[in-house]
Amino acid sequence: MKKTLLLLAALSLSTAATAVNIDYATWDGTRQQADEALIAAFNKSHPDITVKYNLVPWGVYWQKAAAMVAGGSTFDVMWMNLDNFPFYQSQGALSPIKLDAKTAAALPSVRTAPYRVAGQLYAVPLGPQPVTVYINRALFKERGVPVPTSSWTFDQMLAAAKKLTFTKDGKQIYGINGADLQADLEYGMSFYFGAGGTGLIKKTGDSYTANLDATFAKTSQKLLDLIYKDKVSPGPQASTQQGYQMFLAGQMGILVQGSWMVSTWDQNKELDWAFAPFPSVDGKQPRPVVSAHALVVPSGSKNKDAAQTLVTWMNTSPQAQRILAQKGLLPTLAENYKSQYLQALPGRNAQTVFAQLPNSVVINFSLRSLKVLPEVLTVLSQKLNLAWTGNAKLPDAIKQASSEMDTLLKTAK
Amino acid sequence: MTRSEPLRPEPLTRRDASLKARARGSQAGLLGLLTLGAVAILLPFVWMILTAFKTPAEAYTWPPIWLPAKWSLANFTQLFDTIPFARMFFNSVWTSVLIASLNILSAAPAAYAFARLRFPGQGLFFGSHLLSLMIPWQVTIIPVFLLIRQLGWYDSFTALIVPSIASGFTVFLLFQFFRSLPRSLEESVLIDGGSWFTALRHVALPAAKGAIAAAWLFSFLGNWQSFIWPLIVLQSSEKMLLPVGLLSFQNQYSVNIPVLMAGATLSTLPTVIAYMFVQRYLTDAAITSGLKG
Amino acid sequence: MQNAAPLVTVPARKRRASPMRRQETLMALLLILPSTLGILAFAVLPIAASLGISVTNWGGLSKPNFVGLQNYATALQDPRATSALSHTLIYVLLAVPTGVLISLTLAVWINNLKAGWLCTVFRTVYYLPMVTIGVAVALLWQVLLAPQGLVNLVLGWLGVNGPNWLGSPAWVLPAVAIFSVWQGSGQGIILFLASLASVPKDLYEAAQLDGAKPFEAFRFITLPMISPTVFLVLVLSLIGALQVFEAVLVLSAGGPGDSSTTVALYIYKTAFTFFKMGYASALAWLLAVILIGLMVIQWRNQSKWVNYDQV
């Protein structure tokens, strides 16, 4: 039976002399050039498949995805993230992906595991997207602050930020983007994990409870103090631009953001930026968060074979990964293309990105099957946001978040 | 047409000169107030246009600098490099014009019938039009999408245009206008043996020209602005509309404000020019129709 | 749809002979046919479907299960739904009266200008915000409403210390309302101008001869004559404001905390972030019931102040 099916598939492929058209959809516009280069290379090496690039803006990506999947007509290859994967997978909207054993074994397990359900792989992870620290070297030099080394600590970072907060030609320069470091979101959470945090929701037996423990409270307070006590970050009364905008304009010394911002920094050729090691908290090993986006093939796709060929090629072939690394982006098997990546970003201290990868954490990956997870995280984020914007006291916000999270979690099994 | 409100009679003892002076004074006052309002409206636009010429570093500098150091067209170049701006613009214009026109063609007769005629099921049919205004689109969008799929219209302009032809908004707007028209003229047409159709065509429609122009404009702009529905029913990039294109400069973690403002500037200018052409019909027609007064 | 029936108040009119009535009915059905077909297919049908969805636990993709009225019961006890409703109502109270008043005032002022070209200029300027792409303009306003942004700069000139508009729970809804009034008052102005232009000039002349003061002329001539348009603008802004979505999504994303999460935004999140299509539909229906209720009240009350021609 299986053999005849394969034979039929092979036949249909060979008889279809004209190319199969497949649609590739992403929300990441910062990667557009790299994606188009990848697709051009793929179309060249696979004359039987023609891939079309579709950029769907982030703000409406998931609504478009939901409508398309519900309507049974979809893109053939789609970007997927961990927040949305459990929903689509549990609704049977994704087609399982078959990889040969060798390729599958080579995939980084930390970012593959969340996409494996009942032993079956439903997505192939894209390159890691770690939270990284950027510094403005010109500002460091100007203020006589030593450039961070791999033993950089939170306290040293704070001291640097204090020196980097000053006025220059009537412009306010700030030390660090504290407003972005809300402790329950990926940038702030990187410090929480580094301080020994174990996750914001705890599973005991079959039930879940909020786990906003002392580590969380302490780290949150530290990060919040950057704005309100140490005043090295623009607070809600002062900030007009977002952190990355101030960094881009050369008005911020330290920026905690993601590796994907590299192409954005190109917009300001005069910006003297570099990666910096993630600072350690309380002498512990830094554990920055890494986003694990992936490529999926929706079960509504009419060209699953071609789609799977593209997914496999894009995320596992040496050719594709080399192209990505040469564009300053981390490919799936990042370590194997380290030299190309470093060459693409000369003098930016890019090796620190690799140094931190082995210790990075995927947020909530063990809780992904929890149906109310998006809601619980929304509640938490809203409560902490009140503290971060100076509209609530942190302990109150944590207490309220904890009790509302527990209420929601009670309904979950 | 008689108004029943009594106006207090006062002896005609005023001197013309003082009246004129006061009128001039009040004109100057009006002008001053309106100019102040106009400045409030225009300042954000000035900022938008200036930003379109700034480098990202200049755009994000704080405190803000009003003028770019160099008037660079780089943002416009990047706009055209990243999205097929001209095609998206063209798509947006022709679909919005077509939808708005079909909208008026279907809504004007319906609104007239609801306002003037009596027929069984009137309340029910009019109620459905009103209901369509009151249900948030967030939940009907999926059922409508499923319907479009069933009809086989996905990724075609049909899917964009046909569901938008009938509009509760336009019907309600014109309904209000027809209701406030004086009945006397239509009645005289009817008494002279004319049909309702004659009354509509030769009396009501000409009288409502201003309202129809306004309704057309609103409908045009409604479609010109909409992005969720086009995004969902259209897939091919060569069919995409402008708002969706502009939105692609907003990434998950960052927005390219200067390029976005370049796009917003370019997309605003032509509509402003078009509006200047349309707008004289908005009120003049109502005056010149000669029905009033 | 029993709510809809009393909405149309057909003025009493002389009964016509029966062939005439038949002709009228036929004519009417013909006139409403295209619009009604469209509304039935692309509004009523999906609305009915959403009513159906609201009694299930549908997530959007898999097979729905019938859960009866459970979603409605949940909604009535959902603290986030009630707080979203209160944010929406506060926003409506802030935005609707201000918007209608401002556009009426501006329209009357423009209409009173003697120089025709000035009318054209102001009409165009005040309409400008409507012709831009809304999403892009909202992003622009995010910058203008910053603590030291343009809005507070202008307030500073007037000696007012502007608040942190988008960063404080107390000011975020007024900020969204300011944006909406800036963006949307052009629509009201156009409608009012069209209506004002149709007020016969000789009525004013007569009033002036009778010595009426400008305000009296406005109160006793203009206002009654344009009352149907006032009603129209009021109803349209009310419907728009109760469903406010895009402005809060782009300007504040519902924050800080949930202080600007309106019902429409909560419905959107429930449907597309929390994947509870059934619950979202129930919430939408509850919002619709409130909307319809307010409409019915407005419609019933209009006879007290709205003046349709009843010759």
Q: Mind giving me the DSSP string for chain C? A: -TTTGGG--PPP-PPPPHHHHHHHHHHHHHHHHHHHHHHIIIIIHHHHHHHHHTTB---SSS---B-TTHHHHHHHH-HHHHHHHHHHHHHHHHHHHHHHHHHHHHHHHHHH-S-HHHHHHHHHHHHGGGGS-HHHHHHHHHHHTSTTSHHHHHHHHTT-----GGGSTTTHHHHHHHHHHHHHHHHHHHHHHHHHHTS-HHHHHHHHHTT--HHHHIIIIIHHHHHHHHHHHHHHHHHHHHT--HHHHHHTTT-STTTT--HHHHHHHHHHTS--HHHHHHHHHHHHHHHHHHHHHHHHHHHHH------
* pLDDT of res. A153: 95
Q: Answer yes or no: do C35 and B106 touch at CB < 8 A.
A: yes
> In C, which residues are within 8 Å of B218 by CB distance?
187
Choose from A61-75, B130-144, B242-256, C86-100 the range with maximum mean pLDDT: C86-100
| Residue labelled with tokens 């622009």 | C140
In order of start, what are the domains of chain A with their CATH numbers?
A: 13-128+292-332 (3.40.190.10), 130-290+364-410 (3.40.190.10)
Task: State phi, psi for A258 to the nearest 5 degrees.
Answer: -115, 160
CB pairs under 8 A between B and C: 350
Closest residue of C to A384, CA-based?
C257
**Is pLDDT of A120 > 60?**
yes
- Quick: pLDDT tens for A48-103: 999 999 988 888 888 888 888 777 778 999 999 988 898 888 888 899 999 888 88
**Is pLDDT of B1 > 60?**
no
**Is pLDDT of A17 > 60?**
no
B92: closest CA of chain C, how far (Å): 11
Q: Which of A169-178, A339-348, B275-284 has the lowest mean pLDDT?
A: B275-284
**Is pLDDT of C87 > 70?**
yes
B140: closest CA of chain A, how far (Å): 11
* pLDDT of res. C2: 34
Chains that touch A (3 or more CB pairs under 8 A): B, C
**Is pLDDT of B288 > 50?**
no
Q: Answer yes or no: do B123 and C133 touch at CB < 8 A.
A: no
Closest CA to C39 of C31, C50, C28, C47: C47
User: CATH number for the domain including B83?
Assistant: 1.10.3720.10
Mapping DSSP to helix (H, G, I), strand (E, B) and coil, where does residue A132 land? strand
**Is pLDDT of B285 > 80?**
no
Asked if residue B146 lies in contact with residue B84, where contact means CB atoms within 8 angstroms, the answer is no
The pLDDT confidence band at residue C1, using thresholds 50, 70 and 90, is very low
> Structural domain of residue B102, as residue ranges?
76-288
Q: What's chain C's average pLDDT? A: 85
* pLDDT of res. B15: 52
Closest residue of A to C170, CA-based?
A391
- Quick: pLDDT tens for B161-206: 999 999 999 999 899 888 877 777 777 887 887 777 788 888 888 8
Q: Answer yes or no: do B232 and A68 touch at CB < 8 A.
A: yes
Residue to substitute from A245, A255, A259, A291, interface B, most B β-carbons within 10 A: A245
Closest residue of B to A72, CA-based?
B149
B127 and B33 in a common domain:
no
- A172 and chain B: CB distance < 8 Å anywhere? yes
The tokens for B58 are 């200049």
Residues 101-160 of chain A with CB under 8 A from chain B are: none
The closest CB to that of B149, out of A23, A55, A72, belongs to A72
Residue to substitute from A24, A58, A252, interface B, most B β-carbons within 10 A: A58
The tokens for C282 are 């129930």
The pLDDT confidence band at residue B138, using thresholds 50, 70 and 90, is confident
The tokens for A91 are 């609704």
Maximum CA pair distance of chain A? Answer: 77
> In C, which residues are within 8 Å of A385 by CB distance?
255-257
Share of chain A above pLDDT 70, in %: 94
B108 and B31 in a common domain:
no
Residue to substitute from A60, A228, A239, A240, interface C, most C β-carbons within 10 A: A240
Instruction: Please classify residue C243 by burial: count the beta carbons closer than 10 Å to its beta carbon, then call 0-12 exposed, 13-18 middle and 19+ buried.
Output: buried
**Is pLDDT of C4 > 50?**
no
Q: How is the beta sheet containing A294-296 ordered, strand by strand?
A: A49-55, A20-26, A77-80, A294-296, A124-125
* pLDDT of res. B59: 83
Residue to substitute from B83, B231, B261, interface A, most A β-carbons within 10 A: B231
CB atoms within 10 A of CB B273: 10
Mean pLDDT across A157-170 = 93
Q: Which residues contact B60 (CB under 8 A, 6 or more apart)?
A: A241, A245, A246, A248, A249, A251, B257
B122 and B41 in a common domain:
no
A274 forms beta bridges with: A135
* pLDDT of res. B292: 40
Is B30 inside a domain boundary? yes
B174 and B121 in a common domain:
yes
Q: Answer yes or no: do C31 and B200 touch at CB < 8 A.
A: yes
Asked if residue A35 lies in contact with residue A53, where contact means CB atoms within 8 angstroms, the answer is yes
Domain C75-305 has CATH 1.10.3720.10: yes
B253 and B153 in a common domain:
yes
B216 and B143 in a common domain:
yes
B271 and B230 in a common domain:
yes
- C53 and chain B: CB distance < 8 Å anywhere? yes
CB atoms within 10 A of CB A344: 17
B120 and B35 in a common domain:
no
Mean pLDDT across A178-207 = 92
- Quick: pLDDT tens for A208-229: 999 999 999 999 999 999 999 9
- A29 and chain B: CB distance < 8 Å anywhere? yes
Asked if residue A55 lies in contact with residue B248, where contact means CB atoms within 8 angstroms, the answer is yes
B138 and B48 in a common domain:
no
* pLDDT of res. C117: 84
* pLDDT of res. C133: 84
Asked if residue B129 lies in contact with residue B172, where contact means CB atoms within 8 angstroms, the answer is yes
Which residue would you say has higher pLDDT here, C172 or B63? C172
**Is pLDDT of A7 > 70?**
no
- Quick: pLDDT tens for A251-275: 999 999 999 899 889 888 899 999 9
CA gap A34, A42 in Å, rounded? 12
> In B, which residues are within 8 Å of A242 by CB distance?
254
What residue ranges do the domains of chain C occupy?
75-305
* pLDDT of res. A240: 62
* pLDDT of res. A15: 47
The pLDDT confidence band at residue B291, using thresholds 50, 70 and 90, is very low
C183: closest CA of chain B, how far (Å): 9
Closest residue of C to B48, CA-based?
C140
- Quick: pLDDT tens for C249-274: 888 888 788 999 999 999 988 888 88
> In C, which residues are within 8 Å of A70 by CB distance?
60-61
Q: What number of H helices and E strands is found in chain A?
A: 18, 15
Residues 99-138 of chain C with CB under 8 A from chain B are: 106, 109-110, 112-114, 118, 120, 122-137
Q: Answer yes or no: do B56 and A67 touch at CB < 8 A.
A: no
- C266 and chain B: CB distance < 8 Å anywhere? no
Closest CA to B83 of B251, B222, B244: B244
Q: What's chain A's average pLDDT? A: 89
- Quick: pLDDT tens for B72-97: 899 999 899 888 999 999 999 999 99
B161 and B40 in a common domain:
no
Strands A20-26, A49-55: pairing is: parallel
* pLDDT of res. C303: 80
- Quick: pLDDT tens for C179-192: 999 998 988 998 89
C90: closest CA of chain A, how far (Å): 19
* pLDDT of res. B237: 79
Share of chain B above pLDDT 70, in %: 87
- Quick: pLDDT tens for C6-58: 444 444 444 445 777 788 888 889 999 999 999 999 999 999 999 999 999 88
B132 and B201 in a common domain:
yes
**Is pLDDT of B31 > 60?**
yes
* pLDDT of res. A277: 94
Q: Which of A33-37, A112-116, B126-130, B280-284 has the lowest mean pLDDT?
A: B280-284
B168 and B30 in a common domain:
no
